[in-house]
């Protein structure tokens, strides 16, 4: 597969990170690979903590002309000068987020392993649909998004699709022909060398 038709890369921050060093780590990865979008995915619900993280990461991403979206908190997206929101509740909040943020904002929806939920989110106005996890995780309760859902989606639906969650190089090679983006997070951030970890993960599409 050539780079021109390879899936694009979509980075997801860790659920918790230190503002003293993470922006630099992110910048190093953004300078090493072509990244389409970054998602601020803090587990915290503390508005001050989220705002400070958004400010720091916005400086890094916007300096490189890379979109920055926030997970869940669409009411903060506009206030913080971000490019949109990634919703984690399927189709449920898409219309509300679209109305709040306007037509130009990015609104994405994570739909687990549900093709039906993905279609509903698309009809509600989402710009992309994410399915996952695509590999085995230590977390119980998450239905794995099998390859078939991506194969069907790529054949039947024009809306871009993101494969995320428990990615490895084998999954990247397998899903590359049927996904538009790979959502990559803990797979690289748990490494001491996230640039090297990303390079190894995406080697099959390079």
Kindly report, residue by residue over 27-47, the tens digit of the pLDDT.
999 999 999 999 999 999 999
Secondary structure of residue 83 in the 3-state scheme? coil
Residue-range definition of the domain harbouring residue 179: 3-205
- Matching residue, tokens 């109305």: 99
| pLDDT score of 89 | 97
Mean pLDDT of the region 188-205: 97
Look over the chain and give the mean of its residue pLDDT values, rounded to a whole number: 95
| pLDDT score of 9 | 98
Residue 142: CB atoms within 10 Å: 14
| pLDDT score of 137 | 76
| pLDDT score of 5 | 81
Mean pLDDT of the region 20-24: 98
Secondary structure of residue 14 in the 3-state scheme? coil
Residue 139 pLDDT grade (very low, low, confident, very high; cuts 50, 70, 90):
low
The pLDDT tens digits for 96-132 are: 999 999 999 999 999 999 999 999 999 999 999 999 9
Secondary structure of residue 185 in the 3-state scheme? coil
Please report which helix (H) or strand (E) contains residue 101, including its range.
helix 94-101
- Residue 168: give its domain's CATH number: 3.20.20.70
Mean pLDDT of the region 175-197: 98
Which of 4-8, 117-121, 149-153, 177-181 is least confident?
Answer: 4-8
Count of domains observed in the chain: 1
What per-residue string of b and e applies to 150-182 under the rule 16 or more CB within 10 Å gives b?
beebbeeeebbbbbbbbbeeebbebbbebbbbb
Least Cα distance to 35 among 15, 72, 71, 65 occurs for 65
| pLDDT score of 140 | 57
């Amino acid at each position: 597969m050539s780079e021109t038709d390879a899936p694009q890369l979509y980075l997801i921050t860790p659920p918790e990170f230190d503002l003293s060093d993470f922006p630099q780590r992110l910048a190093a990865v953004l300078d090493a690979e072509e990244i389409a979008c970054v998602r601020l995915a803090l587990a915290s619900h503390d508005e001050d903590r989220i705002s400070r993280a958004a400010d720091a990461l916005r400086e890094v991403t916007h300096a490189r002309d890379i979109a920055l979206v926030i997970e869940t908190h669409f009411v903060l997206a506009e206030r913080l000068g971000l490019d949109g929101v990634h919703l984690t509740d399927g189709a449920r909040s898409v219309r509300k987020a679209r109305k709040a943020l306007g037509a130009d904002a990015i609104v994405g929806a994570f739909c687990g392993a549900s093709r039906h939920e993905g279609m509903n989110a698309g009809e509600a106005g989402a710009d992309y649909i994410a399915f996952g996890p695509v590999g085995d995780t230590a977390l119980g309760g998450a239905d794995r998004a099998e390859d078939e859902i991506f194969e069907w989606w790529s054949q039947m639906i024009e809306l871009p699709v993101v494969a995320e969650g428990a990615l490895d190089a084998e999954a990247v090679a397998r899903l590359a022909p049927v996904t538009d983006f790979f959502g990559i997070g803990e797979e690289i951030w748990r490494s001491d060398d996230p640039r090297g970890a990303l390079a190894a993960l995406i080697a099959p599409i390079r």
